[in-house]
Amino acid sequence: MRKTRILAATLLALVAAPLGQALADPIKNVVIVHGALADGSGWRKVFDLLSAKGFNVTVVQPPMTSLGDDVAATRRILELQDGPSLLVGHSYGGMIVTEAGTTDNVAGLVYVAAFQPDAGESLLDLAARTPAATNGIAATRDGYLYLDPKVFAQDFAADLPEQEARFMAHSQVFPAKAAFETKITAPAWKNKKSWALVATEDRAIHPELMRTMARRAGSEQVEVKASHAVFLSQPAAVAALIEKAATALSD
């Protein structure tokens, strides 16, 4: 009789395991979405730190032509992941992950010096609410935005070596203005756990705006004394928050 009970319990466990497996799987996939005015190569240090910890890290290169195109590019990468993913966004990338993060295989979100919008809000709406220190944003004749190279170092990457900041200023990725005007429809943070890193010396997004958005979303916050380019100047702090989030979601 005892053997029968043990066999029945074993069979029940085998049948039930697949039902809860997706939720129990440890988070090993990290998908990073870079922001405007920079590209994914700036995340190499964070990539290396997380890869050394056993994470499968992928950096999305959104086209920056529209919010819809950028969300589609992110979801394209998410579809290639085996198992649940932690979705990370920097700056405008926060807009992208907020919309793309509703995908079923996204377990949680990490906002790194990023916009964290609610439904019906655009990046320009949020930026106007609490203006940042920079006033160097300009537009091309065909509707793309850039940060004046003369102020790029002080407003985007003040804590990076001069040569590195200068290179970034002259290799920046121009986003379409229309992407910054597009409103979010379904914020993923309303249904998924999130974390937020506030760069306290940020001149591209006002630190108080980051705090306000994170509180509204119920995100777990950390503050790092860094510029908007915190992913480059403080990669260990950024990687630590991502690892913390992945660990919490795996418990």
CATH for 194: 3.40.50.1820
> Above 80 in pLDDT, residue 1?
no
| Domain hosting residue 228, numbered range | 26-250
pLDDT band at 162 (very low <50, low <70, confident <90, very high): very high
Q: What is the pLDDT of residue 23?
A: 45
Q: Would 177 be classed as within a structural domain? A: yes
- State residue 24's pLDDT score: 52
Residues 6+ apart with CB under 8 A from 146: 37, 137, 138, 139, 140, 172, 174
Residue 231: band (very low, low, confident or very high) from pLDDT cuts 50, 70, 90: very high
What is the pLDDT averaged over residues 92-103?
98
Strand order of the β-sheet with 29-33 is 56-60, 29-33, 85-91, 106-114, 193-199, 220-224
The answer, yes or no, to whether residue 180 has pLDDT greater than 80, is yes
For position 39, what pLDDT does the model report? 96
Average of per-residue pLDDT across 68-75:
98
- The residues near 156 (Cβ < 8 Å, ≥ 6 apart) are 37, 38, 134, 147, 165, 168, 169, 203, 204, 227, 228, 229
Whether 146 is in a domain gets the answer yes
* pLDDT exceeds cutoff 50 at 22: no
* 7 domain-assigned: no
For the residues 195-210, what does the mean pLDDT come to?
98
In a domain, 17, yes or no: no
> Looking at residue 25, what is its pLDDT?
74
The whole-number average pLDDT for the span 143-154 is 98
Kindly state the average pLDDT of the residues 42-48: 98
**Above pLDDT 70, what percent of the chain?**
90
Judge contact between 49 and 76, C-beta under 8 A. Answer: no
Q: Is the whole model's pTM more than 0.85, yes or no?
A: yes
3 in any annotated domain = no
Say how many domains are in the chain.
Answer: 1
- 143 and 176 Cβ atoms separated by less than 8 Å: yes
Question: Would you say residue 44 lies in a domain?
Answer: yes
1 falls within a domain: no
Domain-embedded: residue 203: yes
